[in-house]
Amino acid sequence: MTDIGYTPYQAPSFTAQFAANVKVAMQVAGPADATGNARPLRSVALQRRTGIARSTLRAMTNPAPDARPNPDLNTLSRLAEALGIPIAFLLMRPEDWRLLSRALNDMPTLVTAAEKLIGRKPLAVPVGTPERVLRECRLQPDAVPYGLGANPVEIARVEQRNEQRRRASHVLGSLALRGLPEPDAKVFLTALAAALAHQLSFASEAPAEPN
């Protein structure tokens, strides 16, 4: 795994964010006290649950300034299981949570569009349906500012955003809709893939160069 963030335009580093996530989770992952309040999960308890060596655990949760811990997927999986959360949540940054919040805010309109397009029948969702949901809601594509006086950089930026949204909607839809979810989940997951793709098209935007 890389330690420079998920794209060249995003920070903080993977190493720092992962360490911060594990430490924050450990602060409340211990057994509850007599009044039901969360208590910290001690390092020795986490080590016992995961089988990860104490030195390795210390290097991941308290990396030295010049160190670059690089946990493998097996280690990440054991940590996530011990903390009782999906592995993906250990890798999320504050900006990822904010993006998810914005995507969920878009859900009512997108769920309505998804239900209109695919209904609730036990059928597979066609590839590209999340993008069709975005088009139904007039969120894809953004209008490209062609014509006299159009700024080539702005044209490139809008085209880049449209392509990012298209690609992300297909990828997220493929991940979310593997197998055949139950009808209600199928509609919600299609809308969620569309919502995340829409928000990602802005979150990942970087200065574009004209073709």
Q: Choose between 125 and 181: higher pLDDT.
A: 125
Full-model pTM: 0.84
End-to-end CA distance of the chain: 32
SS3 176: helix
Within 8 A by CB and 6+ apart from 152, the residues are: 210, 211
Q: What is the mean pLDDT of the chain?
A: 87
CA angle 153, 193, 167 (to 5 degrees): 40
Instruction: Give the ranges where the chain is alpha helix by DSSP (H).
Output: 14-26, 43-50, 54-61, 73-83, 94-105, 107-118, 129-136, 152-176, 183-203
Per-residue pLDDT at 204: 66
Contact 54, 47 (CB under 8 A): yes
Region class of 179: left (phi > 0), else alpha (psi between -120 and 50), else beta: left
Contact 116, 109 (CB under 8 A): no
The pLDDT confidence band at residue 205, using thresholds 50, 70 and 90, is: low
Contact 162, 200 (CB under 8 A): no
Longest Cα pair distance anywhere in the chain, in angstroms?
72
Q: Which pLDDT tens digit goes with each residue over 160-202?
A: 999 999 999 999 999 999 887 788 899 999 999 999 999 999 9
Per-residue pLDDT at 206: 55
- Say yes or no to pLDDT of 3 above 80: no
- In what helix (H) or strand (E) does residue 129 lie, and over which residues does it extend? helix 129-136
Tokens 């829409």 belong to which residue? 198
| Main-chain phi, psi angles of 55, to 5 degrees | -65, -40
Mean pLDDT throughout 10-14? 56
Share of the chain above pLDDT 70, in %: 90
- Say yes or no to pLDDT of 32 above 90: yes
Mean pLDDT throughout 93-122? 92
Domain ranges, ordered by start, for the chain: 14-92, 99-203
Fold for 14-92, please state it. 434 Repressor (Amino-terminal Domain) (1.10.260)
Closest by alpha carbon to 168, among 143, 139, 188?
A: 139
Mean pLDDT throughout 88-104? 94
Per-residue pLDDT at 210: 46
Contact 141, 162 (CB under 8 A): yes
Q: Which pLDDT tens digit goes with each residue over 52-91?
A: 999 899 888 887 777 777 789 999 999 999 999 999 999 9
